[in-house]
Structure 1
Amino acid sequence: MKQFFKFVLATVVGIIIASVIPLILIIGIIVAAGSDKEVDVDANSVLHVKFDYPINERTPNNPLANLGFLGLDGEKSIGLNDILSSIKKAKTDNNIKGIFLDESYMMSGQATTEEIRNALIDFKKSKKFIIAYSEIYTQGFYYLASVADKVYINPKGIIEFRGFSSEVTFLKGALDKLGIEAQIIKVGTYKSAVEPLVLTKMSDANRLQVTSYLGSMYDYFLTGISKARNINKDSLFNYANSGRIQQPEDALKYKLVDGLKYKDEILSELKQRTSIAEKKDIASVDLGEYVKSGTKVDTDPKDVSYKNRIAIVYASGEITGGDGDDNKIGSETISKALRKVRMDDKVKAVVLRVNSPGGSSLASDVIWREVMLTKKVKPIIVSMGDVAASGGYYIACAADSIIAEPNTITGSIGIFAVLPNMQKLFNDKLGITFDGVKTGKYADLGDVSRPLSPEERAILQNSVNRGYDDFTKAVAKGRGKTQAYVNSIGQGRVWTGSQALKIGLVDRLGNINDAVKCAAKKAGVKDYRIVAYPEQKSFLNKFGEGLSAEVKAHFVKAELGENYRYYEQIKGVTQMMRTPQARMPFDVVIK
């Protein structure tokens, strides 16, 4: 009887928990929704800007974000779209007297940082001030902060100014120990995405291309700081190369900063600039709150108040088949979005915002087809973000015009496939053997328990060759080049936006706003509303679909911290071993 009551009690407790937790979540959603009301900005306010979170293309549609609710809210994040619109809005907001760039880590790519930096430069045309302060200046944040009227560092702080480096993690040694052979089928001398699986260091070709594009990005980095701080570019190069900037005093001596100050001194200066008495608090508004003080860039597509619209279709993340989300390009999701804007008579032109290292070559081709069909109906302009390479370039190449940032990473025109041979792992390490019957010579093609035969390898190589031929034909057609020329600049080679402009892979350098203006001009419209696609799923929809993946990712990121990227790389290896890939050489990590 005692056991019976134990089971009953456990069942009741389980039912209560199962009922209460969803109720708590719903209450949290209601509270969060209530907190999303428009924010009033006090007179003489300072816009407080701090980037200590990953910057995605769009602000996630998550009402629990930033509330710390049950620890399951995911990462705090304001999308690039809202960051840019808020800075633009602050420029003409009479209640905003200036911007305070507080210590940040800039967990964003070079092109994203460039877009924000250009928005700040435009903000300065209002004659309002920008003050930057940090205890630790990473190179990314210093590049952003260099446009400020005053750049300050803590007297005991740290400033990183030593040049760029790019690092690749090689896994061959680990695979050898496990008894796994990565069988590679590829096209492209520079298609180095597979190198970490078969080499222990960079190939000469890969070293050449990384040296080239890294040098191009670094040159642009130094040029920007030189112009902002009025310091000779060669001098900046020498400061970094000789390790001359080691202490805050060095940064002051060589004019990288304007002063060494503690936080209280910065707050006093902000009070002086906004005519606030020393004993009173500064009137300030956080960027996350300021987003709520007016209209966002992303207008609801269901709003019918404007007959002329420019649609921005966001394609961000790895390219895969099926559905996607804010951080993954699903061929089905993007195809539906392109079909929708193509058939909407109110949409006069389309901007395809691409921020992707590529992925499935098949999924890339599916999206490319929709871009081609859209181009026949209305103008479509591509705006490239941090990365628009390999499959990311594939889906872009058919557009009427391609606009990239100078430090966008693009190109990487090539195809590869990876098939693991795990025979030694199974046989020698685990003692597992396999045997079976097949009705055809190639019935078990792709079996990972044995190596490929020469005939099987030839079949796969032909498939990859065909994929590369299709890729280069698509680029040649879209860019008005010969296939031979595309092949000469292809072969998997990576370029920066500046380099891509010179060789004809992009049409001009600029940001997403330039792309919108270009689209409007080609469509012949002056008054228009911007609408964003694909429509973001509501939190309730996500909740209904299950939050297990997001919850898991949240805890893994929290546990691994900066090392999360290695976890992502290992996941990427397993994904590459499924279908032919058109993707970048792993992830480019610049330090």
Structure 2
Amino acid sequence: MNHHLLIAEFLATPWALMPERLNAVAAVLARWSQDIPAGEDVLTGIAVDRSMREARRQAATAVSSGGIAVLPLYGVVTQRGNMVDDVSGPGSVSTQQFASALRQALADDSVSQILIDIDSPGGSVYGVSELADEIASARAQKPVVAIANSLAASAAYWIGCSASEFYVTPGGEVGSIGVWQAHFDYSQAFVTKGIQPTLISAGKYKVEGNPYVPLDEEAQGFMQSRVDDYYATFTKAVARGRGVPIAQVCEGMGQGRVLGGDAAQAQGMIDGVATFDHVVRKMRRDAKSVARPRASRLAYAQRVIEIL
């Protein structure tokens, strides 16, 4: 039953992730904990998905020209490392590694704009608030544009809405604004198997919420308070990023659901519906329109100097 404990601990972490996407991760954890090797079909699927992700990252990076740095944000969001890269599907992205890439782009004088290319169902709440704050601060240095291409859900939406502008592809989705965690009660299953766990602990709440006993009211209340705290931080960040009252975030914007482009734009969650190429072209046009007045000012200053 060790795998049950592992999965329970994993799911008890507060998540800003589409719940259905976590099922695949939980299944892999169960396999790991039981030392069950992945089948050939699973391994083949993982290899194909990994190759596709790498090709997509390379293609996105190749667009980085004309002063635009494209930063891919693909897969399940985690704080450190790539803990679920052997899950067949989107893989994972580290908030710490992404923040490092963001800082490099800000420090690079050849980069005038940053485009965050997002395709993610969200992930752990850990590290997300810090990254969103960095992106919000980066807007004061260089334009930061984000695009859901094709999914920016939960933690990924939290990150994307911190950009200067936020778009979604015509067939894409954004939203899933919310936080959740789970408690698994295995007490009856243990009784059936004749297992009686005994927990030895120190500290009043050290084993609170453990999966060997039903969740009591006090423990559930504390778990709810953790979720509420992260949700408050999440909605505050969305309100800041989208320039709307917090009430509009909580009472609208899908209320935890993902929305298509038109519905999301109607609720103020994005700035428009556009393909990746269209957003890149818009950014290049914007850069030229900014460069022309600056060039004119420089030319005028040069003429003044010549006259003097």
**TM beyond 0.5:** yes
Contact 1:187–1:465, Cα closer than 8 Å, also in 2:
no
**Partner residue of 1:418?**
182
1:267-318 Cα offsets, whole Å, 9 max, x none, are xxxxxxxxxxxxxxxxxxxxxxxxxxxx9763498xxxx8x52100000111
**Partner residue of 1:129?**
none
CA distance in 2, matches of 1:383, 1:403: 5
CA distance in 1, matches of 2:244, 2:148: 20
CA distance in 2, matches of 1:327, 1:482: 34
**Partner residue of 2:258?**
494
**Partner residue of 1:318?**
76
**Partner residue of 1:470?**
233
> 1:351 deviation in Å?
0.3
Of 131, 142, 151 in structure 2, the residue corresponding to residue 367 of structure 1 is: 131
Of 178, 199, 202 in structure 2, the residue corresponding to residue 439 of structure 1 is: 202
**Partner residue of 1:385?**
149
> 1:437 deviation in Å?
3.2
Contact 1:380–1:519, Cα closer than 8 Å, also in 2:
no
CA distance in 2, matches of 1:300, 1:505: 26
CA distance in 2, matches of 1:388, 1:311: 19
- How do residues 141-540 of structure 1 correspond to structure 2 at under 5 angstroms? 193=19, 298-299=61-62, 309-324=67-82, 327-429=91-193, 431-490=194-253, 491-524=255-288
CA distance in 2, matches of 1:472, 1:314: 24
* AA matched with 1:311: A
Contact 2:73–2:118, Cα closer than 8 Å, also in 1:
yes
Matched residue SS, 2:281 = helix
- How do residues 102-117 of structure 1 correspond to structure 2 at under 5 angstroms? none
CA distance in 2, matches of 1:353, 1:297: 8
1:495-525 Cα offsets, whole Å, 9 max, x none, are 1011111111111111112222333344447
> 1:452 deviation in Å?
2.1
Contact 2:169–2:276, Cα closer than 8 Å, also in 1:
no
- How do residues 6-21 of structure 1 correspond to structure 2 at under 5 angstroms? none
**Partner residue of 1:205?**
none
CA distance in 1, matches of 2:287, 2:280: 11
* AA matched with 1:472: T
> 1:321 deviation in Å?
1.8
* AA matched with 1:378: K
Q: Taking every aligned residue pair, what percent have the same amino acid on both sides?
A: 27
CA distance in 2, matches of 1:392, 1:185: 17
CA distance in 1, matches of 2:136, 2:252: 23
Contact 2:170–2:275, Cα closer than 8 Å, also in 1:
no
> 1:335 deviation in Å?
1.3
> 1:438 deviation in Å?
2.6
CA distance in 2, matches of 1:415, 1:382: 22
Change (3 A) 1:484 1:446: same
State which structure, 1 or 2, has the greater radius of gyration over its C-alpha atoms: 1
* AA matched with 1:444: V
1:443-470 Cα offsets, whole Å, 9 max, x none, are 1134222222211111110110111111
* AA matched with 2:271: D
Change (3 A) 1:518 1:445: farther
Greater helix content: 2
Change (3 A) 1:297 1:356: closer
Contact 1:318–1:357, Cα closer than 8 Å, also in 2:
yes
CA distance in 1, matches of 2:182, 2:157: 21
Q: Give unmatched runs, 5+ long, in structure 1.
A: 1-174, 198-294, 528-591
Matched residue SS, 1:414 = coil
CA distance in 2, matches of 1:399, 1:485: 19
Change (3 A) 1:335 1:446: farther
Contact 1:405–1:498, Cα closer than 8 Å, also in 2:
no
> 1:186 deviation in Å?
9.0
* AA matched with 1:337: A
Matched residue SS, 1:355 = strand
Change (3 A) 1:466 1:333: same
Change (3 A) 1:428 1:525: farther
1:59-110 Cα offsets, whole Å, 9 max, x none, are xxxxxxxxxxxxxxxxxxxxxxxxxxxxxxxxxxxxxxxxxxxxxxxxxxxx
Matched residue SS, 1:451 = coil
> 1:332 deviation in Å?
1.7
Matched residue SS, 2:180 = strand
1:221-265 Cα offsets, whole Å, 9 max, x none, are xxxxxxxxxxxxxxxxxxxxxxxxxxxxxxxxxxxxxxxxxxxxx
> 1:360 deviation in Å?
0.8
